[in-house]
Chain A
Amino acid sequence: MKAVERGIISDYDLKKPGTRTVYYLMVLTVLVMVCTMLYPMLVIFFNGVKLNTEVNSFPPTFWPNEWHFENYHNAWNYIKLPLFARNTLFIFAGNMVMTVLVVGFAAFSLSRMDVPYKKFIQYFFLLTLFIPPTTYIIPNFVNLRDLGLMNTFWALWLPAGANAFFLLLLKTFFDGINMEMFESGRIDGASEPRLYFQIAFPLSVPIFATLAIFVFASAWNDWYWPSLILSSDKRYPLATAIYKYVINVRRLDLNLRFAILTMITFPPVLVFLVFQKYIVRGLNMGGVKG
């Protein structure tokens, strides 16, 4: 008999009525879980096209009675989404450049170059992982103030280069690249920056893509920290602006609120659904952080 694809439960077990019932109960539980995951997502969308009175009615309706797509028009006029989205992309791009140049260079040096006192330098970077964020959030704020970086993108960009977790991921990945590639490059007279940009970087696109997901997720999600260091509409990222002008205001109608939330929810969700195969693979490569 040829080996069959099986899990913990075998086909033989499934023929027993007791196990069979347990299996179906289990599948049912998973399906209930799936529904509780999808229901709130659909609620965001459906509430965004209802009349405000319908959103506030009790008991709440799921399917809209009437479809009011003009909500989107009103929502669009309420908040300058393109401006805030541009700021978010600015922050993402800057953070990514810092990751590739600062963190990437350091990881490459630690992994593939001959540097005396390497151990010591490595501890200098990695020990920061043991300091709890609560300890340095306030001094960090005061420090950025002292440096005169308040209300500039630099206050977000520069600290993005101080990420020991990314450094560790990159170094581990570079460690896996065949050393002979660099040796032959050196013999051919390539300079170290060329080795980084023309050999290490192209070979490490998968790990940089993973980091790009992390960097993007934090640029898209972080609302609290930017709200502390930035103080003008011209610079707020999307998340901060939404928190300030949509979540934390009482006067805004609920249906408009949900229309705005729909507009900022579905772009990342669609990107995720389209690229989910690659994204999940990348997240697995990034190990545990998610």
Chain B
Amino acid sequence: MSQSTAVPIRQSDPMPKRAPGKWKKHAWGYLFLLPAVVIFFTFLWLPIGKGIVFSFYHIDFVKGDTFVGWDNYERILKDPEVVVSVKNTLYYMMLGLLIGFWVPILFAIAISEMRRLQGFARIAAYLPYVVPLVVLYGLWRWLYDPVGPINAVITKIGLEPVLFMTDKAWSMISIVIMETWQSFGSALLIYIAAVSSVPRDWYEAAEIDGAGVWQRIRNITLPSIKNQIVLLLLLQLIATSQNFQTQYAMLDGGPNNTTLTYALVVIRYAFTRQDYGSASALGVLMFLVLSLLAIIQYRMSNRKEA
């Protein structure tokens, strides 16, 4: 064998594990990890564990905590606001997909097809992402005003003005439109990177075989960016299930609780009613439900592969 000379060298292990004198090396390794372990424990695992404990207690900063058993869970499961907020959150997640999810895919394909001004369009789309969130709240309150610029256009073309913020049917839609406008640029960059890494010859070959533009998009471009689509879909669903800041800042859950999301109920329980125990219970409940969904999803995807 031509490689036989290499064998004896491989057999002798140059660095036996845990040789005396090597302890220093491990010590350094653990020393490097120590601050992170302490910090992850104190600021993530400890609160997560405390959350589970708190959910069985009535928390009082002055008089001290008292054990209340399942009372907190009973309270939140009987609370009509919690039921409403679950519905709202699901509705919000669905609107996010209907209004927002396809926008960056569409524009990624369109922009990467443009013969000029590509860079300009990309920068313009990303720009709102750079603007601080609080500025957006101020800006969109004015844009959505009953006598604001959007309504000026709507009345000019002869339609009834829309009460974007105070109309119960519109409030959540308005919030989703605003968030899509603000954040689709970041997804756009990811899709553009994916679309432009598709080999050009594939299109050339497809064209020679007589595939039209639409067929090329459907059969080459979209399958090539499938991974990014699935990943961003998951990330968007996770993110929207946790959102509350826009709803809180723009409308405080109103009008008539139509923009009250689950996370906003958690916030209300904690900081409006000072009921930290029930708020923790809501958090634990969300964790259980999401874990259950993750397990089901995992089982199903495994079955498909088998």
Contact = CB atoms under 8 A, between A and B. Distances in A.
Interface stretch (B73-81, B90-98, B141-149, B168-176): B141-149
Given A109-B32, A142-B54, A128 B45 contact: yes
Interface in B38-65: 39-40, 42-48, 50-51, 54, 59, 61
Nearest to B241: A132
Q: How large is the interface on A (under 10, 10 to 19, 20 to 34, 35 or more residues)?
A: 35 or more
B134 A243 contact: yes
B271 A8 contact: no
Contact of A106 (B32, B107, B141, B263): B32
Given A105-B36, A220-B132, A288-B231, A142 B50 contact: yes
Contacts of A247: 134, 137-138, 141, 249
B70 to A, nearest CB: 18
B166 to A, nearest CB: 16
Nearest to A220: B132
Interface in B193-226: 193, 200, 203-204, 207, 213, 216-217, 220-221
Nearest to A287: B190
Q: How large is the interface on B (under 10, 10 to 19, 20 to 34, 35 or more residues)?
A: 35 or more
B26 A114 contact: yes
B124 A276 contact: no
Interface in A100-134: 101-103, 105-106, 108-110, 113-116, 121, 124-125, 128, 130-134
Contacts, number: 289
A134 B33 CA distance: 27
A13 B213 contact: yes
Contact of B36 (A103, A138, A238, A273): A103
Interface stretch (A67-75, A157-165, A204-212): A157-165
Contacts of A201: none
A242 B128 CA distance: 18
A138 B279 contact: yes
A6 B135 contact: no
Contacts of B30: 109, 115
A176 interface: no
B32 to A, nearest CB: 4
B167 interface: no
B283 A12 contact: no
A268 B147 CA distance: 30
B117 to A, nearest CB: 8
A194 B120 CA distance: 43
A128 B142 CA distance: 39
22 contacts: A8-B109, A8-B203, A23-B113, A30-B110, A44-B135, A60-B149, A121-B37, A134-B266, A135-B51, A136-B48, A138-B266, A139-B47, A141-B270, A221-B132, A223-B133, A223-B134, A247-B137, A258-B142, A264-B135, A269-B127, A284-B189, A290-B129
Interface of B: 25-26, 28-30, 32-33, 35-37, 39-40, 42-48, 50-51, 54, 59, 61, 107, 109-114, 120-135, 137-143, 147-149, 152, 155-156, 181, 185-187, 189-190, 193, 200, 203-204, 207, 213, 216-217, 220-221, 231-232, 235, 238, 241-242, 245, 248-249, 262-263, 266-267, 269-271, 276, 279-280, 282-284, 286-287, 290-291, 294
Interface of A: 3, 5-10, 12-13, 19, 22-23, 26-27, 29-31, 33-34, 36-38, 40-41, 43-44, 47, 55, 58-60, 62, 98, 101-103, 105-106, 108-110, 113-116, 121, 124-125, 128, 130-143, 145, 147, 158-159, 161-162, 164, 167, 191-192, 196, 220-221, 223-224, 228, 238-239, 242-243, 246-247, 254, 257-258, 261, 264-265, 268-269, 272-273, 276, 280, 283-284, 288, 290
